C-alpha cells in the first residue's frame, strides 16, 4: 500500500483528543512525514491501549495528566532513525540522504585514520632523524615518566582512529564507539582546558557532534557490503585529494608568510604533522555540514547522487573549515630551531608524501568510479 | 549464505501471530503472555520489528478497522513468516540439544564422583 493510499485510509474522524494523546502525537513528530501518514493513528492507538492495560483504574487520570515514559520516547527515537534511513520502504530521497551521510562519515573516518598515519610517520621520522635532543620527540616510555599516563594518552590517542576505520568496515559497532571515545576524549578535555575561551566552544561542539554521529551510525547498524565498500572508496579518495590539496596550499602559504623560516625543517615537519592531527576537527566539520546541507536539499533518486553529494559536502566542509580555522595556524608559527643538514631530505620527503597521497587517491577514485558505474549498469 | 538469525523480540512477535491476525497492542500483550512477561515490547520497537518483517514478506496487513475513531491495523503471518519461524524453532531446538548434551557430559563425572564417595561421607557423618 502506498503512503498516499494509506493516508486516505487513515482519514478517520478525530475523536476527542486527550492531553496524553496530544503528548503522544507530539512525540510522534520525530517520525518522518511519510511514516506518520502511514502509521500515526495506529501507533497512538497502541500507546493508549498499552496505557489502559497498565493501569485500567486510573486511565482517566492518565488521559488528563499522563505523558510518554522514557522507554517509549527512546523507542520512538530509534524508530524515527530507522524509518528515515534503514527502512527499504522509505522514500528514495531519505535513503539517498542516509547514504550520503554514511559516506561522509566514512570519509571522515578515513581522514582521521590518515591523520593518525601522518602524525605517527612524522613522529617516527623525527625520532630517528639526527636532530638534537631538544627537537627529538619523546618516546612513549619517556612521555609517561615525564608527563604521566594521561598526558601520554593525550599525545597518542589519535592512534585509536587507526582501529576505528577497520571496525566500521566489519560492522563492530560498540568497538567502533569505544575507539572513537578513546580518540576523542583527550581532545575534548585538552580543548576545554586550553584557555581559548569562547573559541573552545565550537571545537568541543564539533567533537561531541562527531560522537553523536558515531552513536547514530552504531544504532542504525552500519555494516558495509563489499559492493557498497567499493562505492565508498570514491568518497574516501576524494577526502584524501582535497585534504592533500589543502595541506599543500596551507604549507605554501606558511612558507610565504614566514620566508625567514623556510629552512627550519623540524618546524616544517612539526607543522605538517600538526596540520595532519588537526584533521579531526576538519572532518568533523565536514560531517556536520554534510548533514545540514543534505537535509536542506532536494535529492534525486540516483545511486550516484549520494556519492557525489558526500564528496561535495566533504570538500566544501574541509575548505570552509580551513578558511575558518585560522587561529590554530597562528599558534603553529615557527619558533627558534637550528638548521639541520637533513633539511632538503625532509622537505623532499614531505613533498613526496603529498604526491604519493594524491596519486593513490586519484587511482582509487578512478577505480571506484568505474566500479560504481558497473554496479549501476548491472 | 548465512541464515537470518531472529532476535528474541522478533521471535515472540512471529509466535504471537501464529494463531490469528492481531493488531499492535494485542501483539505486545500476546508476546508478554507467551514469554511469561519476560518480553515487554516498547511500541517503537514493535513497529520497527513489524516494518522489517513486512519488508521481508514474513507478515502482511490482514485488515483495518476503525475503533474509537482510530485506525487499527491487523497483521497476519504469511507462508514465508511461518517458514522463518519454523526454521528459527529448529535452530533453537538444535542449540538446546547440543547444550543439553554438553552439560550432561560435564555433570555426569561430578555425579559419579559424588555417588562413589557418598557412602563414605554418610558413614563419617554418622
- pLDDT tens for A88-133 read 555 666 666 666 656 666 666 666 676 667 667 666 766 666 555 5
A111-120, A245-254, A311-320: lowest mean pLDDT where?
A: A311-320
Residue B54, min C-alpha distance to chain A (Å): 10
Each residue's pLDDT tens digit, A255-273: 555 555 555 544 555 555 4
pLDDT of residue A80: 84
Residue (of A48, A71, A69) closest to A60 by Cα position: A48
- Cβ-Cβ contacts under 8 Å, A41 against chain B: 70-71
Decide if B70 and A88 are in contact by the 8 Å CB cutoff. Answer: no
Q: Does the structure show a pLDDT above 60 at A26?
A: yes
Pick the residue with more confidence: A196 or A58? A58
Using 50, 70 and 90 to split pLDDT, how confident is the model at A254? low
Residue B105, min C-alpha distance to chain A (Å): 34
Assigned C-alpha cell, A195 = 584557555
Q: Which of B10, B41, B51, B66 to mutate to test the interface with A (most CBs of A within 10 A)?
A: B51
Each residue's pLDDT tens digit, A180-191: 777 777 766 665
Mean residue pLDDT across chain A: 61
Residue A71, min C-alpha distance to chain B (Å): 7
Three-state secondary structure string covering chain A: CCHHHHHHHCCCCCCCCCHHHHHHHHHHHHCCHHHHHHHHHHHHHHHHHHHHHHCCCCHHHHHHHCCCCHHHHHHHHHHHHHHHHHCCCCCHHHHHHHHHHHHHHHHHHHHHHHHHHHHHHHHHHHHHCCCCCCCCCCCHHHHHHHHHHHHHHHHHHHHHHHHHHHHHHCCCHHHHHHHHHHHHHHHHHHHHCCCCHHHHHHHHHHHHHHHHHHHHHHHCCCCCCHHHHHHHHHHHHHHHHHHHHHHHHHHHHHHHHCHHHCCCHHHHHHHHHHHHHCHHHHHHHHHHHHHHHHHCCCCCCCHHHHHHHHHHHHHHHHHHHHHHCHHHHHCCCCCCCCCCCCHHHHHHHHHHHHHHHHHHHHHHHHHHHHHHHHHHHC
Pick the residue with more confidence: B59 or A374? B59
Amino acid at each position: 500500500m502506498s503512503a498516499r493510499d494509506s493516508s486516505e485510509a487513515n482519514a478517520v474522524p478525530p475523536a476527542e483528543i486527550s492531553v496524553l494523546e496530544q503528548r503522544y502525537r507530539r512525540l510522534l513528530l520525530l517520525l518522518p512525514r511519510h511514516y506518520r501518514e502511514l502509521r500515526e493513528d495506529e501507533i497512538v492507538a497502541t500507546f493508549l491501549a498499552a496505557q489502559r492495560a497498565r493501569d485500567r483504574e486510573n486511565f482517566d487520570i492518565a488521559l488528563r495528566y499522563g505523558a510518554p515514559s522514557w522507554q517509549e520516547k527512546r523507542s520512538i527515537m530509534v524508530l524515527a532513525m530507522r524509518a528515515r534511513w534503514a527502512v527499504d520502504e522509505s522514500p528514495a530521497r531519505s535513503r539517498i540522504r542516509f547514504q550520503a551521510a554514511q559516506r561522509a562519515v566514512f570519509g571522515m573516518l578515513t581522514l582521521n585514520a590518515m591523520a593518525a598515519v601522518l602524525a605517527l610517520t612524522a613522529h617516527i621520522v623525527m625520532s630517528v632523524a639526527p636532530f638534537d635532543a631538544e627537537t627529538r620527540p619523546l618516546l612513549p616510555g619517556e612521555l609517561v615518566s615525564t608527563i604521566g599516563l594521561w598526558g601520554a594518552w593525550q599525545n597518542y590517542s589519535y592512534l585509536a582512529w587507526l582501529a576505528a576505520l577497520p571496525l566500521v568496515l566489519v560492522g563492530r559497532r560498540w568497538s567502533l564507539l569505544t575507539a572513537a571515545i578513546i580518540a576523542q576524549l583527550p581532545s575534548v578535555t585538552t580543548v576545554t582546558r586550553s584557555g581559548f575561551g569562547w573559541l573552545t566552544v565550537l571545537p568541543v561542539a564539533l567533537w561531541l557532534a562527531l560522537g553523536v554521529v558515531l552513536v547514530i551510525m552504531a544504532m542504525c547498524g552500519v555494516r558495509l557490503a563489499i559492493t557498497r565498500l567499493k562505492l565508498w572508496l570514491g568518497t574516501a579518495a576524494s577526502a584524501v585529494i582535497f585534504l592533500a590539496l589543502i595541506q599543500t596550499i596551507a604549507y605554501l602559504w606558511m612558507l610565504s608568510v614566514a620566508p625567514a623560516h623556510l629552512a627550519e625543517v623540524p618546524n616544517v615537519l612539526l607543522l605538517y604533522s600538526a596540520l595532519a592531527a588537526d584533521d579531526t576537527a576538519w572532518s568533523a566539520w565536514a560531517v556536520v555540514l554534510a548533514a545540514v546541507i543534505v537535509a536542506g536539499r532536494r535529492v534525486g533518486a540516483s545511486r550516484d547522487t549520494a556519492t557525489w553529494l558526500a564528496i561535495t559536502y566533504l570538500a566544501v566542509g574541509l575548505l570552509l573549515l580551513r578558511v575558518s580555522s585560522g587561529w590554530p595556524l597562528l599558534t603553529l608559527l615557527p619558533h627558534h630551531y637550528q638548521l639541520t643538514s637533513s633539511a632538503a631530505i625532509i622537505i623532499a620527503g614531505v613533498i613526496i608524501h603529498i604526491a604519493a597521497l594524491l596519486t593513490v587517491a586519484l587511482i582509487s577514485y578512478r577505480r571506484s568510479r568505474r566500479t560504481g558505474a558497473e554496479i549501476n549498469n548491472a | 549464505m548465512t541464515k537470518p538469525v531472529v532476535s528474541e523480540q522478533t521471535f515472540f512477535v512471529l509466535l504471537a501471530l501464529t494463531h490469528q491476525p492481531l493488531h499492535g497492542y494485542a501483539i505486545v500483550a500476546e508476546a508478554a503472555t507467551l514469554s511469561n512477561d519476560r518480553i515487554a515490547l516498547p511500541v517503537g520497537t514493535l513497529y520497527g520489528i513489524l516494518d522489517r518483517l513486512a519488508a521481508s514478506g514474513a507478515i502482511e496487513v490482514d485488515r483495518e478497522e476503525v475503533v474509537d475513531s482510530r485506525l487499527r491495523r491487523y497483521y497476519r503471518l504469511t507462508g514465508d513468516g511461518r517458514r522463518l519461524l519454523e526454521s528459527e524453532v529448529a535452530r533453537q531446538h538444535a542449540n538446546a540439544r547440543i547444550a543439553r548434551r554438553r552439560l550432561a557430559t560435564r555433570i555426569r563425572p561430578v555425579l559419579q564422583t559424588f555417588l562413589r564417595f557418598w557412602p563414605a561421607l554418610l558413614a563419617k557423618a554418622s
